[in-house]
């Protein structure tokens, strides 16, 4: 029983990271109906930005986190502006291929700048406590609490503010939104920026837990987060969080109780089964047809 | 001499190789109600889209003395142009209240917004009743009310309306036209596109009749309503 609880706690930590990345996929899909396949690599960029902030600039944890989020947000905005915006009315497959290309570009750029894996310095002292037989570490608490705050903040932004309203309006009808005075391009840029910043936060948290980072770390994690977004219902903020938590828990439990080589197999099998049962994901709704 | 409120010169709009508007000039004075009538495909919607900045055009559109060339659609709203688009353009995934609130984007005058919301609710009590409901669940007529109400929330000086009577029952059409008269009485200039030429010519002071992207006839609405060519083509003989 305590073993199960322990694994669920570890699953919550991993799931929080997936959830943060999944939010970026789901936000961009929500607003542009486009899958930003470069998003997993922004997670990696976030981890490297943390490395630069902490190791090169010598900043402490919180400023390093903020710097990583801001720098990655700027890169996310730039990618949209330079690579995706010119293709906005092109066939969707062009945008997907471009996104894959941008991802490869980011991986190779970082690889060129940093050919060897990097070790992120220890930024947080790691205490652990044992509660009812379950070991909980201070890094785990940081990750889960900060991820929770970011998720809640985003949910409030999207559902309770005018900017969020504008994002939802653009998602429904991008051509009519300007007639409300909404600067559509600026809101789309902001969406990419926020998604990238959340992905960067995930990269930072990941590097806290697994401090060896390399330019390809975003590939598999990115796929898992993408699966999370789809499982939860792509386009749905709450679905992305739910999907991330489910995937994190499933993965850790599979690794704990089955041969660990089955981990990714189960993740992808989950995607396939769910897509058959619920093509729109758990919280996703089929898009109503526009009148 | 005062610059006209809205002045359009040699407007041309093409969609790819299709020329929808072929050199139209018109002027509207502040406080007027003007209507554009014409057969399907005559270019009425396209003219409104050019004014609100939804399509690229050649020629000039000057609003309140300012040439709108290169001004993006969302900035034109801030300048005072509201457009009720063809087919309503309701955001079905937002509530009724959110649809109205979104149209106040960029406004900071909380009290003014509150007063405008009260005015819209007074004009269309149904929208107050349905405030928390998803806009996509409204009936067609209610969506039309929302679309007009939304345009009023931006405190526009010029209101562009594209077939506000489309799909509405005669009673609702009458209500909407009554509201348009009230809005105009408070100082809003109206450019109305209508299939219902009867009603449009009753409401408007002046009218333009378009055909194939060109102006066919223009003059006081009352005179056009009596013109045999208009009677035959648009008023059913
Ligand atoms: N997006 C578009 N792409 C290509 N052609 C278009 C587009 N929109 C309009 N057109 C063409 O431009 C011409 C004018 O269209 P417009 O919508 O302005 O007509 P309208 O006078 O509003 O007609 P209706 O009374 O049917 O609404 C038509 O021939 C139409 O087929
Ligand atoms: Mg039309």
Query: In this predicted model, what pLDDT tens digit does every residue of B109-159 receive, in sequence order?
Result: 999 999 999 999 998 999 999 999 999 999 988 999 999 999 989 889 999
Whole-Å CA distances, B118 to A233, B114, B115, B121, B179: 38, 6, 5, 5, 14
**pLDDT per residue over B63-110, tens digit each?**
999 999 999 999 999 999 999 999 989 999 999 999 999 999 988 999
Total domains in the fold of chain A: 1
* Angle, helix A184-209 to helix A61-79, in steps of 10 degrees: 140
In a domain, A232, yes or no: no
Q: Are B172 and B180 in contact (CB under 8 A)?
A: no
Q: Is the CB of B99 under 6 A from ligand 1?
A: no
B47 Cα to the center of ligand 1, angstroms:
10
CA dist B148 and B169 (Å) reads 16
Residue A2 forms part of a structural domain: no
Best mutation site among B21, B41, B161 for ligand 1 pocket (most ligand atoms within 8 Å of CB): B41
- In this predicted structure, the answer to whether residue B3 has a pLDDT above a threshold of 70 is no
Please check the confidence at residue B1 and state whether its pLDDT lies above 70.
Answer: no
Average pLDDT over residues B221-230: 88
* Chain A / chain B CB contacts < 8 angstroms: 72
Model-level pTM? 0.93
Residues B209 and B37: their CA atoms lie apart, in Å, by 5
A228 located within any domain? no
Contact at CB, B98 and A291, closer than 8 angstroms: no
| Bridge partner list, B215 | B210
Cβ within 8 Å, pair B82-A178? no
Name the percent of chain B lying above pLDDT 70.
98
Tokens of B220: 């006081």
Q: What are the domain boundaries of chain B?
A: 92-154
Name the residue of chain A whose CA is nearest to B103's CA.
A180
- The answer to whether residue A253 is domain-embedded is no
* DSSP per-residue string spanning chain B: -PPPSEEEEEEEEEETTEEEEEEEEEEE-TT-EEEEEESTTSSHHHHHHHHHTSS--EEEEEETTEE-TT--HHHHHHHTEEEE-TT----TTSBHHHHHHHTTTT---HHHHHHHHHHHHHH-HHHHHTTTSBGGGS-HHHHHHHHHHHHHTTT-SEEEEE-TTTT--HHHHHHHHHHHHHHHHTT-EEEEE-S-HHHHHHH-SEEEEEETTEEEEEEEHHHHHH-HHHHHHHS--
Q: Which domain, by its residues, includes A164?
A: 14-217
Q: Do B101 and A165 touch (CB under 8 A)?
A: yes
| Ligand 2 centroid to residue B15 C-alpha, Å | 14
Instruction: Determine, for residues A288 and B136 on separate chains, whether the beta-carbon distance falls below 8 Å.
Output: yes
pLDDT along chain A (291 residues), means of 10: 90 96 96 94 98 96 97 98 94 92 96 93 89 91 96 96 96 95 97 98 96 96 95 93 94 85 82 87 70 37
Question: What ipTM is given for this predicted complex?
Answer: 0.93
């Amino acid at each position: 029983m305590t073993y199960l609880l322990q694994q669920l706690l570890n699953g919550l930590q991993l799931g929080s990271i997936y959830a943060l990345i999944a939010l970026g996929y789901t936000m961009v899909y929500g607003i542009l109906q486009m899958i930003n396949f470069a998003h997993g690599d922004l997670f990696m960029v976030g981890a490297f930005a943390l490395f630069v902030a902490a190791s090169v600039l010598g900043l402490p944890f919180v400023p390093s986190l903020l710097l990583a989020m801001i720098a990655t947000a700027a890169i996310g905005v730039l990618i949209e502006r330079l690579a995706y915006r010119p293709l906005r009315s092109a066939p969707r497959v062009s945008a997907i291929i471009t996104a894959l290309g941008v991802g490869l570009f980011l991986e190779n750029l970082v690889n060129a700048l940093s050919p060897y894996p990097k070790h992120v310095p220890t930024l947080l002292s790691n205490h652990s406590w044992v509660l009812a037989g379950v070991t909980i570490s201070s890094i785990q608490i940081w990750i889960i609490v900060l991820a929770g705050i970011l998720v809640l903040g985003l949910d409030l932004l999207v559902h309770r503010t005018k900017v969020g309203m504008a994002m939802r309006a653009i998602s429904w009808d991008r051509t009519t939104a300007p007639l409300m005075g909404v600067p559509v391009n600026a809101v789309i840029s902001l969406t990419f920026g926020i998604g990238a910043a959340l992905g960067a936060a995930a990269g930072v948290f990941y590097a806290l837990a697994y401090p060896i980072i390399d330019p390809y770390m975003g590939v598999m994690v990115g796929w898992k987060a993408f699966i999370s977004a789809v499982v939860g219902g792509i386009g749905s903020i709450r679905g992305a969080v739910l999907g991330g938590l489910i995937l994190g828990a499933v993965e850790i439990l599979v690794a704990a109780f089955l041969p660990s080589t089955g981990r990714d197999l189960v993740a992808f099998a989950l995607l396939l089964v769910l897509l058959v049962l619920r093509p729109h994901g758990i919280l996703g709704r089929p898009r109503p047809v526009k009148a | 001499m005062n610059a006209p409120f809205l002045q359009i010169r040699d407007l041309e709009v093409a969609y790819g190789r299709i020329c929808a508007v072929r050199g139209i000039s018109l002027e509207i004075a502040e406080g007027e109600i003007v209507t554009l009538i014409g057969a399907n495909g005559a270019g009425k919607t396209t003219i409104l889209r050019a004014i609100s900045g939804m399509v690229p055009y050649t020629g000039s559109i000057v609003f309140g003395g300012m040439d709108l060339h290169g001004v993006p659609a969302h900035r034109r709203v801030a300048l005072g142009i509201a457009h009720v688009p063809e087919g309503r353009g309701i955001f079905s995934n937002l509530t009724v209240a959110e649809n109205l609130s979104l149209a106040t984007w960029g406004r900071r005058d909380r009290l003014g917004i509150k007063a405008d919301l009260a005015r819209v609710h007074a004009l269309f009590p149904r929208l107050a009743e349905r405030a928390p409901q998803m806009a996509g669940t409204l009936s067609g007529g209610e969506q039309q009310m929302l679309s007009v109400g939304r345009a009023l929330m931006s405190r526009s000086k010029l209101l562009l309306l594209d077939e506000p009577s489309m799909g509405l029952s005669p009673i609702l059409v009458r209500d909407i036209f009554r509201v348009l008269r009230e809005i105009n009485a408070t100082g809003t200039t109206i450019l109305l596109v209508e299939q219902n030429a009867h009603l449009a010519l009753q409401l408007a002071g002046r009218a333009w009749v378009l055909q194939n992207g060109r102006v066919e006839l223009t003059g006081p609405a009352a005179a056009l309503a009596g013109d045999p060519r208009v009677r035959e083509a648009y008023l059913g003989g």
